[in-house]
Amino acid sequence: MPTLFNLFGFRFMFYSNDHEPVHVHVIKDQKHEAKFSVEPEVKLIENNGLKASELRLAESVIEENKEIIVNRWNEYFKN
């Protein structure tokens, strides 16, 4: 499970068996998780326990780091 970065108590990562489209999982406290698409736009796909304020913060972090996330995805999955 490659971790992209840890910020504000969140772990931004993807699973080694993930699939397209490019997306990122955001985990907090090892029990709450959300999934966001990254391309073509950052958008919440699924939420399992994160508060609305946490989702907004996670989304803004993904927006700020979108290029890094896409590059790491492509490197890892050899796209």
Domain spans of the chain? Answer: 3-77
- Do residues 30 and 6 touch, judged by C-beta distance below 8 A? no
Q: Is 46 helix (H, G, I), strand (E, B) or coil?
A: strand
Per-residue pLDDT of 27-47, as tens digits, reads: 999 999 999 999 999 999 999
- The residues pairing with 24 across neighbouring beta strands, listed in sequence order, are 36
Mean pLDDT across the chain: 94
Name the pTM for this structure.
0.92
